[in-house]
Every structure is written in structure tokens, then in C-alpha cells.
């Protein structure tokens, strides 16, 4: 019943043909032909080339469900990655992929195709409904009314039987957020892709983690989608007999090569012709009346024993005659007739012009993403509380160590300077490490969703900055409020606000440095190592230690944000206070800062710039590093190295 709903919707019956018509206009039958596909990577240890896919050829046709099977490690996912233009992390692809007979344009192809990957990459803090709604809001054309987008989400929820958990969080056990089950996650991933009603749908192991009833229902959905003029290619693990009865075309891989490709219905006869009769169908089977293994189970078992032989036989056959392609063409004609008889879409001539629907505007992308990022904070109060209490605890710690510093020259100078230095050491490491760890989760979601064409990487970065920076500023302000008054710095509103402003810029820069390290390294462990190295480097070459820095490293003090931040807060404090000696003599703090008094320890800190000038440079560094982080992100995203 629910399934019917989705079909009707896709047939533009329910939601207004105007809006969907626009989208369906691009829903032309697409056939994907690939020949001699190879994929190789370099072995990290030996440097030798490892051939993962070897000369794979085939066709995926509209209205037919194409299933790729093979043992674990046979190359199914890699083949889907190649066909879906979803390769990350290097490797060399060879061969040719044609879309409706014309060379594939990856950009255009990504707009008409969708890929449900094996691993579900979903935002833990969103509910099922929100996840699908955000996909609909960002993926569907801007000309489509929001009500129609919501209606489509409703239809998908019904079709994938997610009504019962639509308001449940996706969740993440590692984060301590209880959420939906593994099977429900799989369905949400498929639903995210169905939102755009793609022409071509790649699905990697859609049934893994599902019970058999749900697996059948999902495969039924894929068949239905195929019959609606779509090209559907999927890998499936351990299908039951009901599921195999739905297969149209079938490719069997063994160690990166094809051992059979053609209509599913002909596979039994083909294996029999190679001396491997499937017991279930063999006449005079020794199994008698007992049911034999399913053909798929039999093929997998046979490949284990005679895999190389079957691969060689198939290669020979392919060279001799393109039998499989001819068979597929025959199969396609049958499917079209079946589609007509079933009252499906009328047959349209395949076209080579693939139209992309206009995407939603950039500000709208930022708006939707910002909302989602903000929700993440209040949906996960434990995370918010732990962040805030962490800063409060650190501030109390510094405050207690340097509680109410004296105005005595002997200790007052040192304690003020040291407390600020310790605060900066804390506010350089904490936010940078946190952002490096968070990036690890963000990266996968960003990669997946930009690959799905949901939004631009620029929109994500703008939303991230717009939502993270206010939280960072609140945390730093809290830190400063507690520490400033506990340590007993000069009781002046102007001095306090300058102190807060400098520390906020300092903290934002530290956070960006952590993000940059994470973007470059690609994982949190290496990012934290790199971050530690960078921060130690910058801390060692700034402040008190400047005079000890070798001449050839002096340039580092000039670019270190610590130099300017420290000079600003020290100057802000010392130029407003007077200190006293043991003998009761009054010493001006300004004189101490300007080293007009012999033995002043602040000489190396004074960089000759005013407070305003130091703050201006710090502001420039804050925005400069942010811009640099964006350039890095953008470049690695373009190079598919995220």
C-alpha cells in the first residue's frame, strides 16, 4: 500500500505534475555501458601495483534490476564506486563508461545518479524525519514548493516503513546517543537517495543488517524503482530465493574479474554449459526430493573451487562474441513490454541530454545546514555541558593557582605574566584538539552529502563557521570571566573587554589550526600529533622565549598568533597598573612593560606595537587562518582527498 504511494508520486499523480514534471523531465531512461574497466592501486608496503578490477565489461539498462554478486573482496564495491564516480583515496581507473552511448561526464552524471554506500553516514543528532527532510530541502529543485517536498518525505517514510521511528534520533552508540536500529539506518540511507528520484541508482549491499522480510521489501522497492524508467545497479549478499527471483541481470565477480554476466534467468544454463549444473535444477539430482542449494549459493561455492577457470572461460567467450550484450538487449525489450503491460511509464526514447534540476540557493543551503548544526548542540546536552564545564574547570584551576595576585614587584609581574601564558597554553590546545576530533565525524558526512549534491562545500564551511564561532566565543567569555576576577587583574571594564576580545580571537585561531591539521591529516590521531607539534613550535617561539629563538627562526615569532595575543593582554594589564617594591616604592607598570626599569622580565614580550595594533594583527590572523582552512578544504575536496 505504502509502496504504491511512492509509485504514484513518482508518476506525478499526487504532488502536482508541474513540480514533479520538472524533475521527471530528467528521468529519461539511462543505459550505462562499461567496457574493460580496470582499477589498480599501489601497495603501500612494496610499491607494487595491485590490480583490483580486471577488464570488466557490461551494461546496466533502465527498467531492469542489475545485481552484482561475488565473494567478499571480489571487487563489487570498487566496481560500484567506479561506475558511480565515487572513488576516494587514489587509485588508477582504466576503461570506458558510456551513458546512453556517449562518454560519461562525471559532473552531469552525479546530478542524475545516486549512490547508497555500504556504510551508513548519517548525522547522529537528527531524527529520521529530519534527515530525510533535509535531504529533500537541499536536493530537490528550488522551484518545487516546500509542501511538495514534505509530501515526498512522507511518501518515502511510508514506503520504507519508517513511520514508527520517524521521530527517533539516528543516534550513535559511541556518543552515548541511543538511536534507531541498524536495519532502520540502512533504510534511511536509501530514503535519502530516493528523495531526488534519481535516474540511476547504485546501492551497495542494501539488505545487510535487515531481517529477511525487510530485505525482500527493500528489493521490491528497488525493482519498482527500476520499472519506473530507472537504472538500478546493486550488490547483494546472501539473497534468499524470493530476492533472487527479482533479479533481471546478474554479474558474478571473482577476484576482480567477471565469471558471468547476463540475464539472471540464463545463469543456470550457462553454469551447466561450463560443467557446473546447479543441483536444484539438474535432472536426476542426487538430492532427490530434498531442495538443493540456491543458485547463488551454488555459484559462490563453485567459484571457490573453479573461480579462475570460470573467469578464463568467460573472458574467452566474451572475446569470441558479445553474447551477454545481445542477451541483455533481448531482456530489455522484454522488460519494456512488461512495463507497458503493468501500466508503468510510457516508453521514451533514451536521450543523451541529461538535465540537472536547479539546486537550492547558496544562502538557503547555509540556512538549512546551520539549523542542523545548531540542533546538534541542544540535542546532545551532554556534549554541551561537558564543553562548557571543561572551560569553567580550567578557568577555576588557573584562578586558584594564581588567586588574587599581589601588586608586589617581586611576584606581581611574574604571576600576571605566567597566568596569562598558562591560559593561552590551555586555550591553544583544548579547542584545536576538540576540532580535530569533531572533524573526523564531519569529514565523512561532508564527503557523502557533497557527493550526493546536497550542498556546496562553501555552504558547509560558512554554516560551520557561523554556528561554531558563537559557541566558542561563549565558552571563552565564560573562561575569561572566571579567570580574570579570580586572578585579580586590573578591575577596569575596558581592560576586561580587551582581555576577552583577545582571548576569543586567540581561541578561534586555535580552533582553526586544529581544523586545518585535521583536514590535512584526514584522521584525528595524526591530526592531534600534528597539532601538538605546531602548537609547541608556536609556543616555544613566542612571548618570553623570543630572545632565545635562533635568528633563522625569528620569522616564526612574526607569524605566530601567540606573539600578538600575548603582547596585547600583557600591555593591556601592565599599562594600567602600578606595582610596589619591598621598600614601598611605586613602580609604573608601563615602565616595566617598556623595560625602562633594569631587570624587567617583559622585554621579550614587547613587540613595539600598541594594543590596538596587536589586536588588529590578531584579527587578521584569525580570519587569515580561517580562509586558509577553507582553501585547504576546498582543494582537498576537489581532489577527492577528503
Ligand X SMILES: Nc1ncnc2c1ncn2[C@@H]1O[C@H](COP(=O)(O)OP(=O)(O)OP(=O)(O)O)[C@@H](O)[C@H]1O
Taking the C-alpha atoms of residue 424 and residue 566, their distance in angstroms, rounded to an integer, is 8
**Which residues in the 348-387 window bind ligand X by CB under 6 A?**
none
Classify 282 as helix, strand or coil: coil
In the bound state with ligand X, the residue whose beta carbon lies nearer, of 41 and 591, is 41
All three cell numbers of 409, joined, read 614587584
Q: Which of 324, 137, 352, 112 is nearest to 230 (CA)?
A: 112
In the bound state with ligand X, the residue whose beta carbon lies nearer, of 83 and 457, is 83
Stretch that binds ligand X, among 3-11, 73-81, 180-188, 331-339 (CB under 6 A): 73-81
Taking the C-alpha atoms of residue 249 and residue 331, their distance in angstroms, rounded to an integer, is 8
Classify 51 as helix, strand or coil: strand
Residue whose C-alpha cell reads 563508461 in the numeric block: 97
In the bound state with ligand X, the residue whose beta carbon lies nearer, of 76 and 139, is 76
- Strand-pairing partners, residue 251, are 68, 261
Contact between 209 and ligand X (CB under 6 A)? no
All three cell numbers of 411, joined, read 611576584
* Least distance CB 252 / ligand X (angstroms): 11
Taking the C-alpha atoms of residue 613 and residue 493, their distance in angstroms, rounded to an integer, is 20
Contact 160, 190 (CB under 8 A): yes
Q: Which of 40, 51, 55, 77 binds ligand X (CB under 6 A)?
A: 77
Q: Which of 54, 63, 64, 76 binds ligand X (CB under 6 A)?
A: 76
* Least distance CB 457 / ligand X (angstroms): 22
Stretch that binds ligand X, among 76-84, 221-229, 316-324, 521-529 (CB under 6 A): 76-84
Contact between 75 and ligand X (CB under 6 A)? yes
In the bound state with ligand X, the residue whose beta carbon lies nearer, of 251 and 436, is 251
Contact between 70 and ligand X (CB under 6 A)? yes
Contact between 78 and ligand X (CB under 6 A)? yes
Stretch that binds ligand X, among 65-73, 158-166, 559-567, 623-631 (CB under 6 A): 65-73
In the bound state with ligand X, the residue whose beta carbon lies nearer, of 73 and 491, is 73
Cα atoms found within 13 Å of the Cα of residue 444, Cβ hemisphere only? 14
Number of residues that bind ligand X (CB under 6 A): 12
Beta strands in 248-309 (DSSP E): 249-254, 257-263
Q: Which of 89, 164, 176, 182 binds ligand X (CB under 6 A)?
A: 89
Contact between 73 and ligand X (CB under 6 A)? yes
Q: Which of 1, 47, 48, 72 binds ligand X (CB under 6 A)?
A: 72
All three cell numbers of 35, joined, read 567496457
Contact between 119 and ligand X (CB under 6 A)? no
* Least distance CB 38 / ligand X (angstroms): 12
Contact between 40 and ligand X (CB under 6 A)? no
Contact between 38 and ligand X (CB under 6 A)? no
Taking the C-alpha atoms of residue 394 and residue 409, their distance in angstroms, rounded to an integer, is 27
DSSP state string for 590-629: HHHHTT-STT-TTTTT--S--HHHHHHHHHHHHHHHHHHH
- Pairing assessment for the beta strands 200-204 and 113-116 based on DSSP bridges: parallel
Contact between 74 and ligand X (CB under 6 A)? yes
Enumerate binding residues for ligand X (CB under 6 A): 41, 52, 70, 72-78, 89, 91
Amino acid at each position: 500500500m505504502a509502496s504504491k504511494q511512492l509509485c504514484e508520486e513518482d508518476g506525478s499523480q499526487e504532488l502536482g505534475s508541474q513540480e514533479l514534471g520538472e524533475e521527471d523531465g530528467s528521468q529519461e531512461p539511462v543505459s550505462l555501458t562499461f567496457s574493460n574497466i580496470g582499477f589498480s592501486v599501489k601497495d603501500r608496503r612494496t610499491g607494487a601495483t595491485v590490480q583490483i578490477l580486471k577488464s570488466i565489461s557490461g551494461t546496466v539498462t533502465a527498467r531492469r534490476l542489475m545485481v552484482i554478486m561475488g565473494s567478499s573482496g571480489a571487487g563489487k564495491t570498487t566496481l560500484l564506486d567506479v561506475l558511480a564516480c565515487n572513488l576516494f583515496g587514489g587509485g588508477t581507473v582504466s576503461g570506458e563508461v558510456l551513458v546512453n552511448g556517449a562518454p560519461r561526464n562525471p559532473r552531469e552524471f552525479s546530478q542524475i545518479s545516486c549512490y547508497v554506500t555500504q556504510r551508513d553516514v548519517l548525522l547522529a543528532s537528527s531524527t529520521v524525519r529530519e534527515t530525510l527532510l533535509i535531504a529533500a530541502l537541499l536536493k530537490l529543485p528550488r522551484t518545487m514548493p516546500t509542501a511538495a517536498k514534505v509530501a515526498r518525505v512522507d511518501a518515502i517514510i511510508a514506503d520504507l516503513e519508517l513511520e514508527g521511528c520517524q521521530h527517533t534520533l539516528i543516534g550513535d552508540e559511541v556518543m552515548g546517543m541511543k538511536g534507531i536500529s541498524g536495519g532502520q539506518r540502512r533504510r534511511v540511507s536509501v530514503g535519502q537517495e530516493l528523495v531526488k528520484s534519481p535516474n540511476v541508482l547504485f546501492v551497495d549491499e542494501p539488505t545487510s543488517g535487515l531481517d529477511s522480510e525487510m530485505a525482500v521489501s527493500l528489493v521490491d522497492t528497488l525493482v519498482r524503482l527500476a520499472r519506473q524508467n530507472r537504472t538500478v545497479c546493486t550488490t547483494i549478499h546472501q539473497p534468499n530465493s524470493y530476492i533472487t527471483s527479482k533479479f533481471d541481470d546478474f554479474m558474478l565477480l571473482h577476484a576482480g574479474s567477471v565469471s558471468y554476466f547476463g540475464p539472471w534467468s540464463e545463469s543456470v544454463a550457462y553454469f551447466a554449459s561450463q560443467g557446473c549444473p546447479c543441483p536444484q535444477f539438474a535432472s536426476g539430482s542426487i538430492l532427490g526430493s530434498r531442495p538443493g542449494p540456491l543458485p547463488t549459493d551454488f555459484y559462490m561455492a563453485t567459484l571457490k573451487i573453479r573461480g579462475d577457470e570460470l573467469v578464463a572461460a568467460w573472458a574467452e567467450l566474451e572475446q569470441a562474441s558479445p553474447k551477454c550484450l545481445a542477451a541483455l538487449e533481448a531482456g530489455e525489450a522484454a522488460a519494456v513490454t512488461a512495463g507497458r503491460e503493468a501500466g508503468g511509464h510510457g516508453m521514451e526514447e533514451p536521450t543523451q541530454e541529461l538535465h540537472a534540476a536547479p539546486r537550492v540557493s547558496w544562502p538557503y543551503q547555509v540556512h538549512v545546514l546551520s539549523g542542523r548544526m545548531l540542533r546538534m548542540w541542544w540535542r546532545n546536552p551532554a556534549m554541551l555541558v561537558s564543553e562548557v564545564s571543561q572551560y569553567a574547570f580550567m578557568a577555576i584551576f588557573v584562578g586558584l593557582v594564581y588567586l588574587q595576585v599581589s601588586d608586589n614587584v617581586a611576584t606581581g609581574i611574574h604571576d600576571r605574566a605566567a597566568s596569562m601564558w598558562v591560559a593561552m597554553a590551555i586555550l591553544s590546545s583544548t579547542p584545536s584538539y576538540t576540532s580535530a576530533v569533531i572533524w573526523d565525524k564531519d569529514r565523512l558526512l561532508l564527503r557523502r552529502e557533497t557527493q550526493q549534491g546536497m550542498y556546496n562545500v562553501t555552504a558547509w564551511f560558512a554554516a560551520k563557521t557561523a554556528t561554531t564561532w558563537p559557541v566558542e566565543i561563549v565558552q571563552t567569555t565564560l573562561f575569561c570571566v572566571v579567570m580574570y576576577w579570580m586572578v585579580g587583574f586590573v578591575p577596569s571594564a575596558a581592560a576586561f573587554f580587551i582581555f576577552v576580545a583577545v582571548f576569543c580571537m586567540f581561541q578561534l585561531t586555535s580552533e582553526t589550526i586544529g581544523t586545518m591539521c585535521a583536514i590535512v591529516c584526514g584522521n584525528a590521531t595524526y591530526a592531534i600529533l600534528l597539532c601538538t607539534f605546531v602548537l609547541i613550535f608556536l609556543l616555544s617561539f613566542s612571548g618570553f622565549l623570543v630572545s632565545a629563538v635562533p635568528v633563522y627562526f625569528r620569522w616564526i615569532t612574526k607569524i605566530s598568533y601567540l606573539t600578538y595575543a600575548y603582547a596585547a593582554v600583557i600591555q593591556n594589564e601592565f599599562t594600567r597598573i602600578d606595582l610596589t617594591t619591598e621598600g614601598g616604592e611605586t613602580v609604573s607598570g608601563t615602565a616595566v612593560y617598556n623595560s625602562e626599569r633594569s631587570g624587567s622580565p617583559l622585554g621579550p614580550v614587547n613587540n613595539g606595537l600598541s594594543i590596538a595594533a596587536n589586536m588588529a594583527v590578531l584579527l587578521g590572523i584569525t580570519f587569515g587562518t580561517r580562509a586558509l582552512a577553507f582553501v585547504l578544504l576546498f582543494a582537498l575536496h576537489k581532489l577527492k582527498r577528503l
